Structure 1
Amino acid sequence: MSVDTTEIILVNESDEEVGSGGKLWVHQQGLLHRAFSVLVFNNNNELLIHQRAINKYHSGGLWTNTCCGHPNVAEEIKAAAERRLGEEMGFTCQLDYLFKFQYKTSFENNLTENEIDHVFTGIYNHDFEVNPAEVLAYKWVSVPEIIDEVAEKPDNYTFWFKEILRSEAFLEFVALNHILL
């Protein structure tokens, strides 16, 4: 589906569905909508991040979490995250819900992300082949390494990824899973 015809879910501040709209129109209007972000780690406690394809409708060329997107109308959020992981990164894995947060940011092309973002985590240790229409590059990085990189060059990363990395829920997750060791 193209960005122009995809219908995504509009929500209120309580993350309750209130309607739907075309993906591009929703971002042009800055309407609050449901989204997800996926963080996949390997057994070396490294996080898989990717550089968004240059031609993405916003944030092209920026580095971000493993995968992100929007559930389609009538699509359960976890199923959408699993679907999109396969579409973008070329693999699927068991995903576990971590937390959700709300953010709003505008882009130079007059689009606005105004999302309630549901964050999922997973583990994957096999080969995969990314979708070049979605992913320019990818790499596995340690959490301390990515936190340092984002601090040094914040303009190279998506807004929502930076919000995830500084969230209390993410920091608790890495501590509980001994990822910083």
Structure 2
Amino acid sequence: MENVILVNDNDEQVGVMEKMEVHQKALLHRAFSVFIFNEDGQMLLQQRAAKKYHSPKLWTNACCSHPRPGEPTEKAAQRRLREELGFHTELEKTFEFIYNAPFDNGLTEYEYDHVFTGFYEGDIKPNPAEVLDYCYMSMDEIAVSLQNYPHKYTVWFGIAFPRIMDWWKLKYAA
């Protein structure tokens, strides 16, 4: 049984509850999303494993999950990056957002999402229980694909991508 941290709109902890129950009841909880880039400014995307409890086989950012009770969010992001893709890199907190997305299976993601960015050049060792496939794509290629084929991407990726694109343009506009 895995517990997640219930929060209010200010990301203040208001409780702890079992993960599936939180998703069944559509309660706001703390989460994180990690976006990784290579030296060419391309973003690392992963295709979620076929057996994920929601959004199976959809493409998304490098990794995302929930910190455990008492676990700092950045440490949780590092942990999941290692668990899902088999590597470590420095992460920087970039922004936060709240989203609420119901799924066809009766579950809802209602998350206070902390977004981290990082850079990585090296071997990727995906965990097959988590990741079906992965690739690097340019930001422009992702923008076009997301516009033309939004059903191939996770809901949170579609929400976060425009903000990541704004951040990326500022970082690489020079």
Is the TM value for this pair above 0.5?
A: yes
For residue 172 of structure 2, give the secondary structure of its aligned residue in structure 1.
coil
Residue 30 (structure 2) pairs with residue 49 (structure 1): no
Structure 2 unaligned blocks of 5 or more:
none
Q: Could you say which residue in structure 2 is the equivalent of 1:178?
A: 172
Superposed CA offset, 1:103-141 (max 9, x none): 001001100000000000000000121000000000000
Identity level (%): 47
Q: Could you say which residue in structure 2 is the equivalent of 1:73?
A: 69
Q: Distance in 2 between matches of 1:80 and 1:52?
A: 19
Which of the numbers 112, 121, 140 marks the counterpart of 1:125?
121
For residue 137 of structure 1, give the secondary structure of its aligned residue in structure 2.
strand
Q: How many residue pairs end up in the alignment?
A: 174
Q: Distance in 2 between matches of 1:95 and 1:160?
A: 19
For residue 113 of structure 1, give the secondary structure of its aligned residue in structure 2.
strand
Counterpart of 1:46, as a letter, is Q
Q: Could you say which residue in structure 2 is the equivalent of 1:100?
A: 96
Counterpart of 2:45, as a letter, is I
Q: Could you say which residue in structure 1 is the equivalent of 2:18?
A: 22
Q: Distance in 1 between matches of 2:59 and 2:4?
A: 23
Counterpart of 1:164, as a letter, is A
Residue 83 (structure 2) pairs with residue 87 (structure 1): yes
Counterpart of 1:157, as a letter, is Y
Counterpart of 2:46, as a letter, is H
TM value normalised by structure 1: 0.94
Q: Could you say which residue in structure 1 is the equivalent of 2:130?
A: 134
Q: CA RMSD in A?
A: 1.1
Q: Distance in 1 between matches of 2:137 and 2:89?
A: 19
Range with bigger deviation, 170-179 or 80-89: 170-179
Q: CA deviation at 1:175?
A: 1.3
Q: Distance in 1 between matches of 2:44 and 2:169?
A: 18
Counterpart of 1:159, as a letter, is V
Superposed CA offset, 1:51-107 (max 9, x none): 000110100110000000000000000000000000001101000000000000100
Counterpart of 2:142, as a letter, is I
Q: CA deviation at 1:173?
A: 1.4
Q: CA deviation at 1:171?
A: 3.1
Structure 1 unaligned blocks of 5 or more:
none
Counterpart of 2:106, as a letter, is N
Which of the numbers 97, 107, 114 marks the counterpart of 1:111?
107
Q: CA deviation at 1:172?
A: 3.0
Counterpart of 1:162, as a letter, is G
For residue 149 of structure 1, give the secondary structure of its aligned residue in structure 2.
helix
TM value normalised by structure 2: 0.98
Dislocated runs of 4+, deviation >4 Å: none
Q: CA deviation at 1:166?
A: 1.8
